[in-house]
Amino acid sequence: MPLIDGLTTLWDKLLSAQPAPPPLLVLITAAVALAVVATRVPWRVARNAVTIAHEGGHALAALLTGRKLRGVRLHSDTSGLTLSAGRPTGPGMVLTLLAGYIAPSLIGLAGGWLLAGNRITLLLWIAVALLLAMLVLIRNVFGVLSLLVTGGVVLAVSWYASPQVQAAFAWTSVWFLLFGGVRPVFELQRVRSRGRMPESDADQLARLTPFPALFWVAVFALVNLAVLVGGALLLAGPILSDAGLTL
């Protein structure tokens, strides 16, 4: 049957492995992603993707811990807000608050794992699916536009771009999440030190636990730095293979 044959072809395309990228592409995409994170104007624009991952982490943790999700807002200043209902204290609330700052890095690590197996198409389609799922939760116009633009770019690359462009886009995106997960933690502490974020995730965690806010900032930083190292090792597979090394 044509429908079944089409679904089988699509399934095979999703699960099939693409050719491993040349080591030079891995290095170039890492340099591009690092440059975006390290420079002011590109980071200001691209940080919206990190905010999407951050708020998505809050939303997923809220759902997994049995809280009732009220919605997500994304703002043009790259801030965001996830509203959930449930007990104001306890493990569920702690995990929901904890998830935000580590979510971009963990998503990057998952992406690195897929790219280590050269599952580029699968990675891009999972990204589109997650963005569509999050779109249902958005409660403001900018948030809807942000997700539509981001999802549209990923979908267009996965559907129309050549395998080489898809590989470059996928590796750059995952590198960006790994690097981009670290910078907001240091930005958080810098703003906190000026007394401008009394309701930050770290400060809310401090009120719910015996540990001070600085402890939670350190947890965010250590987790994201460790994930960056692990993700970099996964993404560096083609370089290591070219050098005759294995993980």
Residue-wise DSSP of 5-34: HHHHHHHHHHHSPPPPPPHHHHHHHHHHHH
Cut 0.85: pTM above it? yes
**All residues at 6 or more sequence positions from 184 whose CB lies less than 8 Å from its CB, including other chains:** 47, 50, 54, 101, 104
Give pLDDT, residue 245. Answer: 61
Q: How far apart are CA 44 and CA 103, in angstroms?
A: 19
What is the C-alpha separation between 233 and 30, in angstroms, rounded?
A: 12
pLDDT at 20: 84
CB 78 within 8 A of CB 142: no
Residue 247, pLDDT score: 54
**How distant, in Å, are the alpha carbons of 87, 88, 104, 169, 245 from that of 26?**
45, 44, 20, 11, 16
Residue 25 confidence (pLDDT): 94
pLDDT tens per residue across span 94-107? 999 999 999 999 99
**pLDDT tens digits in sequence order for the chain, 247 residues long:** 565 655 566 566 666 778 888 999 999 999 999 999 999 999 999 999 999 999 999 999 999 999 999 999 999 999 999 999 999 999 999 999 999 999 999 999 999 999 999 999 999 999 999 999 999 999 999 999 999 999 999 999 998 999 999 999 999 999 999 999 999 999 999 999 888 888 999 999 999 999 999 999 999 999 999 999 999 999 997 776 665 665 5
| Phi, psi of 68, deg, nearest 5 | -95, 115
Structural tokens at position 126: 């999972």
Cα R_g (the chain), whole angstroms? 19
pLDDT of residue 104: 98
- Residue 182 exposure: Cα atoms within 13 Å on the Cβ side: 18
pLDDT the model gives residue 241 = 67
